Amino acid sequence: MARPSVTAERREEILAAFARCVARDGVEGASLQQVADAAGLARALLRHHIGNREDMILALAERFCRQSMAEMDALVELLPKKKRLEKLIAVLFTTTYASSSQELQVAAALINAAASRPALKKMLRHWYDGFEDVIALELQTAYPAAKRAAVAEVATAIVGMAFSVDSLTPLGKVDDLFQRSQRAALRLAATLGN
């Protein structure tokens, strides 16, 4: 059995290679041989370090969700005490915060693959719900008198806008779209104060 540090290192190399292949070819199009070649490892080592193809898909999704939520947690940790919500929305709707092209493609591919994979669907749903919960908490903090149902609706809309705008980043020239979306999100959030 490989040393734990080597196993963890190999696992990360394989998942990084798999992410590149999935970004390029989708979940179904990324073959194990392509992943092995991209990782510079023998195909048999994929199974040894991660498991079968379905195990690898779930491992990639777990890695994606973990990294994505860690980024969100780090962002929330850095928010100022005053005008937290405004700053959060400003950051969510900037091209500098937008996901990398590879992250966008991996997310889209995993979401598409979830339709026929219950375990993947459950994992990605939990990730999405966690993201929405972060936004809802900041909304509720900014507007403590707002009803929970209204907060949940606004959180859903803001997350939907953020994901939508983020997905358009590869088209280029999206600065104006990000700015309009940011203003719309702020306007929508302000309805909770009425």
The reply to whether 101 and 181 lie within a common domain is: yes
DSSP letter string, 13-63: HHHHHHHHHHHHHHHHH--HHHHHHHHTS-HHHHHHHT-SHHHHHHHHHHH
Q: Which domain does 110 fall in, by range?
A: 63-193
User: How do residues 123-160 score in pLDDT, each as one tens digit?
Assistant: 999 999 999 999 999 999 999 999 999 999 999 999 99
The reply to whether 120 and 186 lie within a common domain is: yes
CATH number at 106 reads 1.10.357
pLDDT at 8: 86
Q: Percentage helix, strand, coil, to 5, in the chain?
A: 80, 0, 20
The reply to whether 38 and 68 lie within a common domain is: no
| Domains in the chain, number | 2
The reply to whether 91 and 183 lie within a common domain is: yes
The reply to whether 138 and 177 lie within a common domain is: yes
Distances (CA, A) of 58 to 41, 124, 182: 20, 10, 33
Report, as ranges of residue numbers, the positions in the chain whose pLDDT lies below 70.
Answer: 1-4, 97-100
